[in-house]
Amino acid sequence: MTQQTKISPRQAVFEALKVAAPGTFDEALRRSFMAEELNLSLADLHMDSLAEMEFCIAIELSTGVTLLPSELAGLASTDAVELRIRETQG
């Protein structure tokens, strides 16, 4: 059994985006996103179905929160995903 390192929901979303939408973040965007100044529309990232699945898997692995690709359209933005993680974790 491995011990999971707890990361913030914001960091979890960032790490998942690095997997699902590589090349999206340059250093300036990373800083802005991590400073919670940047809220990205998931539709603007143009993730295909495989990328959406990779995003959801990365979120679950880092936070324990299950997120289905079909739920992403309803969440629509990185802030909404982060809020969902916070609400689910309690």
pLDDT in the model for residue 5: 57
Q: How far apart are CA 32 and CA 28, in angstroms?
A: 6
Residue 41: phi and psi, rounded to 5, are -75, 130
Q: Could you state, in order of their start, the residue ranges of all structural domains in the chain?
A: 9-89
Spatial CB neighbours of 7, under 8 Å, sequence gap ≥ 6: 15, 62, 63
In this predicted structure, the answer to whether residue 2 has a pLDDT above a threshold of 70 is no
pLDDT in the model for residue 4: 52
Q: Is the Cα dihedral 9, 75, 79, 77 positive or negative?
A: positive
Q: Each residue of 30-65: pLDDT tens digit?
A: 999 999 889 999 999 999 999 999 999 999 999 999
Q: Each residue of 75-90: pLDDT tens digit?
A: 999 999 999 999 998 7
Q: How far apart are CA 10 and CA 31, in angstroms?
A: 12
CATH number of the domain located at residue range(s) 9-89 in this protein: 1.10.1200
